[in-house]
């Protein structure tokens, strides 16, 4: 059960050293300064390590992938970032043995965790859209509801600024744009407001689905994004702007990522290939592949760890 794991999760990420006595470098650096398991480390820094077996009365050799005991120290392994955290054996165990694999919901790790981060980044992008569209819709409907009052006030202010009531045609820039708003038919503004609300609902649906990593949300986001690309190109051709270019590039990148990385519409083997990938990278086999053999020098490291923790 996940609850079994969560009970023993800690926030002591900094206590996990690079070279644990449980074998090899646990940060998985690949030549550069960034560790290979940086997404796991980030998740653990935010939510704590996912440890099991720290609260068990005894540890069996069969639990070596989850928790080990060496020279009086208990070493539960973080099932997400592969760090081994030294602890004294529990003074008051809450269970007899470490939980079986059938009791544990493995956390996301490796490429699957990276995928989750990318999807949530897109969800954040959609959240920003939702906020902007909601504000725009509120402005439109408030404008429609108070049109006459606003137009009266606008005319008075502009007459004062321009020196007369008949010079508003000379206004350019933002002030001229406001004048243009009063020339739009209320029915057109109403439909424009409904269109903005509908678009905000669509973006909110994408946001929630992507945050929860739903397959349908990947399709919905791809289709909605691609359908808007022609309009974005048209907008840029009509009136180029840096923000429009950035929005266009971000949306193209999102569409390409979803199509190829998430294998939509049968691309790169489609859903079946994606399912096989998730089984291969997300199951116990992946954890076992990353499990080091117990090291020969475990005793020496353990003794040093005890000395450090009591210093």
Of the two residues 74 and 126, which places its CB atom closer to Zn ion in the complex?
74
Decide whether 51 or 210 has the Cβ nearer to Zn ion: 51
Q: Judged by CB under 5 A, which stretch of 70-78, 134-142, 164-172, 280-288 contacts Zn ion?
A: 70-78
Binding mask 28-67 for Zn ion (x = CB under 5 A): ----------------x----x------------------
Question: Of 81 and 130, which has the nearer Cβ to Zn ion?
Answer: 81
- Is residue 81 a contact point for Zn ion (CB under 5 A)? yes
Q: What is the rounded CA–CA span in Å between residue 140 and residue 144? A: 6
Query: Cβ closer to Zn ion: 81 or 113?
Result: 81
Residues 6+ apart with CB under 8 A from 76: 8, 51, 52, 53, 54, 66, 67, 84, 85, 87
Q: Is 80 in the site for Zn ion (CB under 5 A)?
A: yes
Listed residue (183, 219, 187, 224) closest to 202, CA to CA: 224
Retrieve residue 233's tokens: 């190109």
Q: How far is CA 134 from CA 44, 122, 124, in A?
A: 34, 18, 15
Give yes or no for a contact between 83 and 49, defined as CB atoms under 8 angstroms apart.
yes
Least distance from Zn ion to the Cβ atom of residue 108, Å: 12
10 Å CB burial of residue 192 (0-12, 13-18, 19+) is: middle
- In the complex with Zn ion, the residue whose CB is nearer, 44 or 196, is 44
Least Å distance, CB 44 to Zn ion, is 3
Q: CB neighbours of 95 closer than 8 A, spacing ≥ 6?
A: 55, 56, 57
* CB 80, min distance to Zn ion, A: 5
**Cα angle 294, 52, 113; round to 5:** 90
Our finding on whether 287 is near Zn ion (CB under 5 A) is: no
Minimum distance, C-beta of residue 241 to Zn ion, in the bound complex (Å) = 44
Nearer to Zn ion, 231 or 284 (CB): 284
Residues at the site binding Zn ion, with contacts judged by CB under 5 A: 44, 49, 78, 80-81
């Amino acid at each position: 059960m996940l609850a079994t794991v969560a009970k023993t999760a800690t926030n002591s990420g900094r206590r996990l050293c690079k070279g644990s006595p449980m074998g090899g470098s646990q940060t998985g650096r690949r030549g550069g300064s960034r560790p290979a398991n940086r997404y796991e480390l980030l998740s653990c820094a935010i939510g704590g390590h996912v440890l099991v077996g720290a609260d068990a009365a005894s540890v069996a050799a069969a639990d070596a992938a989850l928790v080990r005991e060496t020279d009086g120290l208990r070493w539960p392994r973080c099932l997400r970032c592969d760090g081994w955290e030294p602890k004294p054996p529990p003074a008051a165990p809450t269970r007899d043995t470490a939980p079986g694999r059938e009791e544990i919901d493995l956390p996301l790790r490796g490429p699957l965790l990276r995928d989750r981060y990318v999807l949530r980044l897109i969800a954040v992008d959609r959240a920003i859209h939702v906020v902007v569209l909601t504000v725009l819709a509120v402005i439109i409907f408030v404008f429609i509801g108070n049109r006459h009052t606003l137009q009266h006030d606008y005319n008075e202010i502009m007459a004062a600024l321009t020196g007369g009531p008949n010079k508003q045609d000379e206004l350019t820039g933002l002030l001229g744009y406001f004048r243009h708003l009063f020339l739009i038919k209320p029915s057109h503004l109403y439909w424009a407001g409904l269109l903005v609300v509908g678009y905000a609902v669509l973006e909110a649906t994408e946001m929630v689905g992507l945050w929860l990593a739903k397959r349908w949300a990947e399709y919905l986001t791809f289709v909605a994004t691609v359908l808007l690309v022609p309009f974005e190109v048209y907008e840029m051709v009509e009136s180029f702007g840096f923000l429009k270019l950035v929005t266009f590039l971000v949306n193209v990148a999102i569409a390409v990522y979803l199509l190829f990385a998430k294998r939509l519409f049968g691309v790169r083997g489609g859903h079946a290939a994606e399912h096989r990938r998730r089984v291969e990278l997300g199951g116990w086999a992946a954890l076992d592949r990353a499990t080091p053999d117990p090291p020969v020098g475990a005793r020496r490291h353990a003794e040093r760890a005890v000395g450090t923790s009591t210093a």
